[in-house]
Chains A and B, each alone.
Chain A
């Protein structure tokens, strides 16, 4: 474990939203190793989502250094960051994670459409549907739901489908921004177990954001903002 390389490393990371007087993130130091399951905690408005935006390469640091899998995101162009994100990261939002008019299976397969690497990392690149079905099965989405429009699922089901999408093509990093806030306590816990298990199975690093400290039990480590 100790020898594992850094997945995310932030040095004196600063970010200020355009037009804002103060920094939103001020001198963040953070080191997350590959394969870790990290709980990122902070009060509402502390800048958790902003940090995830930086890690995902959607935002660019104002100052400091941010390496994701050894790659400085600031050194990449916008389109290159888009490719990098699709290639190496799975992302989960708070809610409404799915394209409502696409069937469940197509939603899961989305990353394989935009990233050749994710497609090639499926067990059978010629047929990513197999992996999608396996992941959905693991996340307890019945076969009868695979062809349904995403908008016809319950919120809990939607979050599990989103998790399958984040995991397909074995990305090195899974980022989750409070994906359980819309679920009740029992379902939260079940979902987190599933997510942690799947990340472990595929060897993905998990960076999980929440202001709810009760959830920290499912994780290797807690980082506070």
Chain B
């Protein structure tokens, strides 16, 4: 048997170019198949890590997924508000341990600006219940002070004490951005960097944090997303105005007792003052995943098809090569190889290619994810979960790998069977 394996190896090496190409096809298709699975798992862990400490998110009556996406992941636009009064009522509810108001809408060089309170620094949790920590400086204490997420500071090269300008709206999105940038800058009210957060692997890293009052101050002389013509309130006069926030986009809520969450959710959904929506972030994430499952299933089906194409390619290449090899098979028969040996020879060859393809695919995937993880981190502030950079396939991937291997082995039996029949029919005189 070991001789047959060596023979198969030598034979395969002899046809290394054609087999190499099919090997590459198999490897790529395996990488794709596993990649879809791994991306989903990785993104999911990444998302879960970003909301680990929050029991309930309260916002206006939009979609739950939408509320989750903008309040935690800064994806999409926060178009509706809840009143500051409601936010305060929530904070005073006896079951509530803490609240973090979230006010969005401004950006700085395409990084989102978050208006919040100091509670953010004490209560926000990520990963395994880890609190935020400052790498440098201190939390914001007053007007026009900003605390940067680690990625913001790194990407823009900002340091403590530096002055920066915030712009209104998600300027990057707007088509007329170029023309409007000038007008839509809060250029008259520069901020000072007072703190820089340590990296978290969550969207916090991509966020600039200011107080709710700073947020109000920015928009004193604005209305409907544009500066009021003829009205300009210089920074030094701003303090004379009432800067108490009027509304926020969402409130993150932590409970004293986690199992009170359903009671609290009902309280929020039946809130008297205004229509509110309370979501359990973990539940809504599952909902989001359920929505994406359709796309994911489609992707999976496509990648399964790609694997099938890869295997079909392998079968085709081996079958096509078989005619040229009828001689070779006849010679082997003449020196005593049984038709079963011929069958085994071709099986070994097929399994060899499949096995190598799977291994290569896994290695390729690990390489790709190792390369992509930092990119995802800087682009989305998402540390794609633990398995992503891992070299070994996760437990959930083994059945897939086994399935590919089984399918490949089965596919290899086709040319092997054909060779077996040929060697029986040809005997010692192959007809080409």
Contacts and interface: CB of A to CB of B under 8 A. Distances in A.
A53 B338 CA distance: 15
A174 B3 CA distance: 24
B428 A111 contact: no
B63 interface: no
Interface string B9-42: 0110110000000000000000000000000000
Given A101-B10, A101-B11, A56 B428 contact: yes
Contacts of A97: 331
Contacts of A56: 334, 427-428
Nearest to A117: B336
Contact of A91 (B10, B11, B340, B428): B428
Contact of A99 (B328, B338, B340, B429): B328
Interface string B133-169: 0000000000000000000000000000000000000
Interface residues of B, number: 23
A58 B332 contact: no
A78 B427 contact: no
A52 B336 contact: no
Given A58-B428, A78-B339, A85 B334 contact: yes
B336 A53 contact: no
A113 B3 contact: yes
Nearest to A58: B427
Given A53-B427, A53-B429, A59-B427, A100 B336 contact: no
A102 interface: yes
Given A49-B429, A53-B428, A82 B336 contact: yes
Nearest to B13: A101
Nearest to A84: B336
A111 B336 contact: yes
Interface in B32-82: none
Contacts of B338: 78-79, 82
Given A49-B429, A53-B427, A98-B331, A83 B340 contact: no
Contacts of B429: 49, 53, 93, 177
B14 A101 contact: yes
B340 A79 contact: yes
Nearest to A114: B336
A110 B335 contact: yes
A99 B332 contact: yes
A87 B336 contact: yes
A41 interface: no
A56 to B, nearest CB: 6
A115 B338 CA distance: 11
A93 B428 contact: yes
B10 A58 contact: no
A168 B341 CA distance: 21
A93 B334 contact: yes
B337 interface: yes
Nearest to A49: B429
A86 B332 CA distance: 10
Contacts, number: 69
Contacts of B219: none
Interface string B319-342: 000000001101111111111110
Contact of A83 (B14, B328, B336): B336
A96 B330 CA distance: 10
A120 to B, nearest CB: 14
Contacts of B11: 99, 101
Interface in B337-353: 337-341
Contacts of A85: 334, 336
Contacts of B7: 99, 102
Contacts of A83: 336
Given A49-B429, A56-B428, A58-B428, A91 B335 contact: yes
Contacts of A160: none
A175 to B, nearest CB: 9
Given A99-B328, A101-B13, A101-B14, A58 B339 contact: no
B345 to A, nearest CB: 11
B204 to A, nearest CB: 60
B339 A102 contact: no
**Which of B14, B334, B427 has the most A CB atoms < 10 Å from its CB?**
B334
A165 interface: yes
Contacts of A102: 7, 10
Contact of A165 (B333, B335, B337, B341): B335
A93 B334 CA distance: 9
Interface in A1-56: 49, 52-53, 56
Contacts of B332: 99, 110
A165 B332 CA distance: 12
Given A102-B10, A113-B3, A86 B335 contact: yes
A97 B334 CA distance: 10
Interface of A: 49, 52-53, 56, 58-59, 78-79, 82-83, 85-87, 91, 93, 96-102, 110-111, 113-115, 165, 177
24 contacts: A49-B428, A49-B429, A53-B428, A53-B429, A56-B427, A58-B333, A79-B340, A82-B337, A85-B336, A86-B335, A93-B331, A96-B331, A97-B331, A99-B7, A99-B328, A99-B332, A100-B14, A101-B14, A110-B332, A111-B336, A113-B3, A114-B337, A115-B335, A177-B429
| Among all A-B residue pairs, the 5 with the closest Cβ atoms | A86-B336, A114-B336, A58-B427, A101-B14, A91-B334
Interface of B: 3, 7, 10-11, 13-14, 327-328, 330-341, 427-429
Given A96-B331, A102-B7, 6 more contacts: A59-B427, A85-B334, A85-B336, A99-B7, A110-B331, A115-B336
